[in-house]
Amino acid sequence: MLTKEEAETAREFIELSTGRKWRRNGATQTWKRSPERFRTPVKFGLYGYGQLTELNAADFAVLASCECGYHGPKQDHASPGPCKWVS
């Protein structure tokens, strides 16, 4: 599950159902009158384009990297201990 804040700030995302990795492709659009809404343009590879919104946020997570070598959905990272996120 992607939060609005994550959708506004993260650079890389993972589609949980497919494992596909998506990269931000522009600024996140928000609406003052509809604070729950957001739209983040994303792409994968050369020809794949899409958007992350509050409607599909449940199928995405931030793609995170850690100094320990972990690379995947942040919520699946096993140890909060000595690990350190790298971007």
Summarize as ranges the residues that interact with Zn ion (CB under 5 A).
66, 68, 70, 83
Q: Which is nearer to Zn ion, 45 or 67 (CB)?
A: 67
Residue 77 Cβ vs Zn ion, minimum distance, rounded to whole Å: 6
Q: How far is the CB of 73 from Zn ion (least distance, A)?
A: 13
Characterize 71-87 residue by residue with b for buried, 16 or more Cβ atoms within 10 angstroms of its Cβ, and e for exposed. Answer: ebbbeebeeeeeeeeee
Instruction: Report the nearest approach of Zn ion to the CB of residue 74 (Å).
Output: 10
Note the maximum CA span of the chain: 42
Cβ distance 2 to 60 under 8 Å?
yes
Name which of 43 and 71 has its Cβ closer to Zn ion.
Answer: 71
Query: Which DSSP letter does residue 7 get?
Result: H
7 versus 63: smaller Cβ distance to Zn ion: 63
